[in-house]
Amino acid sequence: MAGRECYHCRQWIDEGEAHDCWTTTEAALTQDLPEDLLEAWQRLRETAASFGDQRIYASHKSIMFSRRSCYCFVRPKKSFLEVCLFLGRTVKAPQVRRVDAASKSKRVHVFRISHRDEVEAPFTDWLREAYELPDVLARTGSTPKARPSPATAGRRLRPRPKSRRSP
């Protein structure tokens, strides 16, 4: 029978059959979680939702929390919740697994949550800080804008010569 294998989910799709492996829901991502992780997830979601107006939605294998932009996302795993928070500074704490630069003004902090009791201060303080970060950046004007350097400001860029390929 004619068909193809989906590049993303590796599922076989018959020709003419509709397929959208990117469409998912929070319930689908959390349905197989053990009880401890499900309780941790519910507490994390309730805490984040209590901060104010935002959009919470599932995207591929993550659950996103966003205002104007994403400030946190959660990847449910078999034995833990991988939580990524976008903060304007680097936090050094035992709960932080990894910190990477997300942009010039944001750092992404990776946490592993495996129990409901881990969703309390100081984690909830960092979660609120991530929620409020867009307001802080807007007030301070910390969003960098591209400007030419003084050395190149007066120069006009010349087009690059086309490379020649030998046949």
What integer is the mean pLDDT of 35-43?
95
For residues 65 and 49, what is the distance between their CA atoms, to the nearest angstrom? 9
Q: Is residue 4 part of a domain?
A: no
Model pLDDT, residue 157: 56
Residue 100 has pLDDT above 70, yes or no: yes
Do residues 8 and 21 touch, judged by C-beta distance below 8 A? yes
Residue 117 has pLDDT above 80, yes or no: yes
* Higher per-residue confidence, 108 vs 6: 108
- Which pTM does this prediction carry? 0.71
Q: Is residue 42 part of a domain?
A: yes
Residue 57, CA atoms < 13 Å, CB-side half-sphere? 10
Query: What pLDDT band is residue 2 in, cutting at 50, 70 and 90?
Result: confident
CA distances from 68 to 47, 114, 138, 157 (A): 19, 29, 11, 35
Q: Is residue 7 part of a domain?
A: no
Q: Is residue 104 part of a domain?
A: yes
> What pLDDT, in 10s, does the model give residues 139-151?
887 555 545 555 5
CATH number at residue 33: 3.30.1460
* Higher per-residue confidence, 19 vs 91: 91
Percentage, residues of the chain above pLDDT 90: 57
The tally of domains found in the chain comes to: 1
Domain interval for residue 26: 22-140
